[in-house]
Chains A and B, each alone.
Chain A
Amino acid sequence: MIWVIVAGAIVGVLAVILTKLGNPANMGFCMACFERDIVGALGFFNWEKPAIAIRYIRPEIIGIMLGGFLTALAYKEFKPRSGSAPATRFILGIFMMIGALVFLGCPTRMVIRMGGGDLNAWVGLLGFIAGIGGGVLLLRQGFNLGRTTKARFSDGLVLPGIMVLLLLLVFLVPQFIAGGPILTSPAGHVGAGNSPVGPVLGIIISLAAGLLVGYLGQRSRLCFAGGVRDVMIVNSWHLGIGLVAMFAVVLVGNAVMGNFGGENGLAWSFANQPVAHTAHAWNFLGMALVGLCAVLLGGCPFRQVILAGNGNTDSVITVLGMMAGAAVAHNFGLVKAATIYGQIAVVLGLVFCIVIALKNRN
Chain B
Amino acid sequence: MIEIDARGLSCPLPVVRVKNAMDGNSGDEIKVLIDTEETRENVTRMAENRGYAIVDETVDEDEEIILVLKPA
Within the assembled complex, what's the spacing in Å between the Cα atoms of A145 and B12? Answer: 12
Q: Which of A58-66, A186-194, A229-237 lies on the face that meets chain B?
A: A229-237
Residues of A within 8 A of B49 (CB): 234, 236
Interface presence of B61 (CB below 8 A) = no
Contact present for B16 and A233 (CB under 8 Å)? yes
Q: List B contacts of A297 (CB < 8 A).
A: 10
Residue A81, interface by CB 8 Å:
yes
- Min distance, Cβ B47 to any Cβ of chain A, angstroms: 11
A140 to B38, CA, bound (A): 21
Contact (A233, B63) CB under 8 Å given A77-B36, A77-B37: no
| Interface pair A298/B46, CB less than 8 Å apart | no
Which B residues are CB-close (under 8 A) to A145? 10
Is A139 engaged at the interface, CB distance under 8 Å to the other chain?
yes
Instruction: Contact check, A226 vs B10: say whether CB atoms are below 8 A apart.
Output: no
| Nearest B residue to A140, CB-CB | B16
Give, as a whole number of angstroms, the nearest-CB distance from B22 to chain A. 10
In the complex the two chains form, is B19's CB within 8 Å of A147's CB?
no
Complex CA gap A81/B39 in Å reads 14
Contact B37 A234 (CB under 8 A): no
Which residue of A is nearest B15, CB measured? A234
Residues of chain B contacted by A149 (CB below 8 angstroms): 8
- Tally of contact residues, B, Cβ under 8 A: 19
A151 and B41 alpha carbons, distance in the complex (Å): 23
Question: Does A144 lie within 8 Å of B13, measured CB to CB?
Answer: yes
Closest to B41 in A: A221
- Scan residues 270-305 of chain A and give those whose CB is less than 8 A from a CB of chain B: 297-299
- Measured CB to CB, the closest approach of chain B to A314, in angstroms, equals 8
Q: Given A81-B8, A84-B8, A144-B10 in contact, is the A233-B45 Cβ separation under 8 Å?
A: no
Chain A interface residue number, banded: 20 to 34
CA A144 to CA B17, docked complex, whole Å = 11
Within 8 Å CB of A298, what residues of B?
10-13
Which B residues touch A79, using CB under 8 A?
A: 35-36, 63
Asked if residues B11 and A226 are in contact (CB atoms below 8 Å), the reply is: yes
Docked-complex contact B9 and A147, CB < 8 angstroms = yes
Q: Are B12 and A233 in contact (CB under 8 A)?
A: yes
Q: A79-B36, A147-B8, A234-B19 are in contact. Are A139 and B13 (CB under 8 A)?
A: yes
B residues near A148, Cβ cutoff 8 Å: 8, 10
Given the complex, which residues of B lie within 8 Å of A75, measured CB to CB? 37
- Please name the residue on chain B nearest to A147 by beta carbon: B8
8 example contacts (A-B, Cβ-Cβ < 8 A) are as follows A79-B63, A139-B13, A147-B7, A148-B8, A234-B12, A234-B49, A238-B45, A298-B13
- The 5 tightest CB contacts between A and B, nearest first, are A147-B8, A298-B10, A148-B8, A298-B11, A77-B37
